[in-house]
C-alpha cells in the first residue's frame, strides 16, 4: 500500500537544481515553489514517463523477479480520474501487478519529477491524488480487506505515513496478530524528522525494517541513539520495542556501493554488493525500491535472509544500469 505516482524523469543541469533549491541526491515533497518545475521538466528533451511510487516499484520488481504466477502482489493506493491515472493502470497491468486503486476526481494523479544529474537523482514528489487515500473508502471495504487477509508478506514504504497512518496501523496490527511478516522502509530523512510520532506508532509492528545509510543516520539522530556507526544503528533499531515476540526484528540498511548491513540473529553482518563499473551507472533512481523488490521476491518463497539480500543486490544492480525503475524482459538471477 502506498503512493502511486507517475515518474517523469529527465536529465537536468546544476542550474536547474539551483533554481528550485534542490540537492543533487534527495527526495522531497513538492512545495509551492516547485509548481513551475513540473511544467519545465516535461519540456526537456528525452523525458521519460514510468509507473512509479516507491512501494509500487518494489511490488513490480518482486513480480518481475518471480515471473510466475502473475499477480503475486496486490497494491492499494489512490489515483485521479485522468490520463496519468490511466497510464498507471495500464503500466500496472503490463507488470502483472494486482493493483486496486481508489479513484477520485478532486485531485489529479500524483507525479514525481526525477531530476537526473550524472549518477545522482533528485526526486520531487507532487502527491496530489496519492494524498487522498482514505481508509474508510477503500481499505475497510470487505472486498479489499479480504485481499489484505489473504497476503503472507506486507510492505509499506514510510512515505505512506504522510498520507494514511491509520491505514498502516490497521494492516500492521492484523499482520502482528496473525504472526505474518510486516515490512517497512524509512524511505527518506524527512520521514524520521517530521513524521516521527506516526513512524514510532508503527515501529512495534515492524518485522523487517529497510533503509539506506542517510535515512539510518537521520533516524538514529532523531531517536537519540548517540552513534553514527551503521552496524550499531541497525542493532539499536532491532532492539526497539516489538509487539509480536515470535519474530525477531530484522534490520537491513543499504549503503550505495558499500556493503549492505543486516541483523542476522543477534549479530550484524555485512554483505558486499555486486561490483559495478561507475561508467555503467545510468541513474540510481529506483535502486532502493529494486533492492526491496528483489528481497521480497525471495522472502515470499521462504528463502534464507542471505538469499533475500543477494536477490536485492541483483535487482538493484540491474536497475541502476537503466533509466528509472525499468528492467529487461527476463531476470537472470540464480
Catalytic residues: 289
Report residue 182: phi and psi, to 5°: -110, 120
CA angle 190, 192, 194 (to 5 degrees): 60
- What is the C-alpha separation between 52 and 50, in angstroms, rounded? 6
Using alpha carbons, select from 173, 181, 236, 163 the residue that is nearest to residue 201: 173
C-alpha cell at 124: 520531487
Distance of CA 184 to the CA centre of its chain: 9
Query: 3-state DSSP call for residue 34?
Result: helix
Buried b (16+ CB within 10 A) or exposed e, 283-293: bbbbbbbbbbb
Please name the residue that has the C-alpha cell 528483489.
Answer: 294
Length of the chain: 334
Concatenating the DSSP letter of every residue in 46-95 gives S-EEEEE-HHHHHHHHHHHHH-SSS---EEEEEEESSHHHHHHHHHHHHT
Q: Is 152 within 8 Å of 300 (Cβ atoms)?
A: yes
Closest CA to 49 of 110, 7, 112: 7
| Alpha carbons 84 and 277: distance in angstroms, whole number | 35
Amino acid at each position: 500500500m502506498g503512493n502511486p505516482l507517475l515518474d517523469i524523469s529527465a536529465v537536468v543541469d546544476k542550474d536547474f537544481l539551483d533554481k528550485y533549491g534542490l540537492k543533487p541526491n534527495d527526495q522531497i515533497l513538492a512545495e509551492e515553489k516547485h509548481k513551475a518545475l513540473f511544467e519545465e521538466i516535461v519540456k526537456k528533451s528525452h523525458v521519460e514517463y514510468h509507473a512509479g511510487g516507491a512501494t509500487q516499484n518494489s511490488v513490480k520488481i518482486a513480480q518481475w523477479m518471480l515471473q510466475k504466477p502473475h499477480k503475486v502482489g496486490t497494491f492499494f493506493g489512490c489515483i485521479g480520474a485522468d490520463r496519468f491515472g490511466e497510464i498507471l493502470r495500464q503500466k500496472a497491468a503490463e507488470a502483472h501487478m494486482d493493483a486496486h486503486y481508489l479513484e477520485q476526481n478532486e485531485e489529479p494523479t500524483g507525479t514525481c519529477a526525477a531530476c537526473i544529474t550524472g549518477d545522482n537523482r533528485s526526486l520531487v514528489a507532487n502527491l496530489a491524488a496519492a494524498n487522498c487515500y482514505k481508509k474508510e473508502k477503500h481499505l475497510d471495504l470487505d472486498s479489499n480487506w479480504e485481499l489484505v487477509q489473504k497476503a503472507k508478506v506486507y510492505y509499506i514504504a514510510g512515505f505512506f505515513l504522510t498520507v494514511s497512518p491509520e491505514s498502516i496501523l490497521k494492516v500492521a496490527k492484523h499482520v502482528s496478530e496473525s504472526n505474518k511478516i510486516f515490512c517497512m522502509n524509512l524511505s527518506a530523512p524527512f520521514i524520521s524528522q517530521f513524521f516521527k510520532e506516526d513512524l514510532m506508532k508503527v515501529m512495534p509492528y515492524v518485522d523487517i525494517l529497510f533503509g539506506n545509510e542517510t535515512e539510518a543516520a537521520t533516524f538514529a539522530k532523531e531517536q537519540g541513539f548517540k552513534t553514527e556507526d551503521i552496524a550499531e544503528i541497525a542493532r539499536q533499531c532491532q532492539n526497539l520495542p516489538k509487539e509480536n515476540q515470535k519474530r525477531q526484528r530484522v534490520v537491513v540498511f543499504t549503503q550505495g556501493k558499500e556493503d549492505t548491513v543486516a541483523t542476522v540473529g543477534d549479530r550484524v553482518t555485512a554483505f558486499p554488493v555486486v561490483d559495478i563499473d561507475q561508467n555503467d551507472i545510468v541513474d540510481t533512481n529506483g535502486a532502493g525500491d529494486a533492492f526491496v523488490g528483489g528481497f521480497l521476491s525471495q522472502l515470499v518463497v521462504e528463502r534464507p535472509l542471505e538469499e533475500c539480500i543477494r536477490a536485492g543486490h541483483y535487482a538493484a544492480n540491474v536497475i541502476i544500469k537503466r533509466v528509472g525503475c525499468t528492467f529487461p524482459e527476463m531476470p537472470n538471477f540464480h
